[in-house]
Amino acid sequence: MTYRVCFVCTGNICRSPMAEAVFRERLRAAGLDDRVHADSAGTDGWHEGEGADPRTVAVLEEHGYDGAHTARLFQPSWFDRLDLVVALDAGHLGVLRRLAPTERDAAKVRLLRSYDPAADGDDPDVPDPYYGDTGDFEQCLAMVEAATSGLLDAVRADVEGRVA
């Protein structure tokens, strides 16, 4: 059975596609890409059907990640098939938990930076780089990369726990 992770930000064109691309590469490198599926979505449908922000694509590709992406809107019905929903900031966390049909579904929602032991607990958000410059997108990528290592460990433990 495939373990499913969905990363969620606002419009699904900056932070969540970045997290999806980085995590997919981590899964591939760990040999888990056949057991774990990663995707992403937005809490709002403003950019549905569009590609990722060109600055997201440029930063991803510059660092060796795949920048291909099509934005979509998160649907509450997805909770049934998802094992983990990863919010990029506290606002998304709140929206997603309110959308969750059950308490069990709400418990599937976690903040990405909660997986980064070096993250500042007072500021758990990955800031939205949309109104910034390339440096903001680089900073976003660095935060995503730092957190996805811990996330990979947690997902690996969940996947191996299901097999045992």
Helix (H) or strand (E) holding 4: strand 3-9
Strands in 84-87's sheet, in edge-to-edge order, are 36-42, 3-9, 84-87, 109-111
Choose, from 9, 24, 89, 140, the residue flagged as catalytic. Answer: 9
Query: Which domain covers residue 144, as residue numbers?
Result: 3-163
Check if 15 is active-site.
yes
Choose, from 33, 66, 128, 136, the residue flagged as catalytic. Answer: 128
- Closest alpha carbon to 15 in 102, 123, 145: 145
State how far the Cα of 16 lies from the Cα of 42, in Å rounded to an integer. 8
Check if 128 is active-site.
yes
CATH of the domain at 46: 3.40.50.2300
Query: How many domains in the chain?
Result: 1
* 36-42 vs 109-111, strand pairing mode: unpaired
pLDDT of the chain, 164 residues: tens digit per residue: 899 999 999 999 999 999 999 999 999 999 999 999 999 999 999 999 999 999 999 999 999 999 999 999 999 999 999 999 999 999 999 999 999 999 999 999 999 999 998 887 778 999 999 999 999 999 999 999 999 999 999 999 999 987 65
Cross-strand bridge partners of residue 40: 7
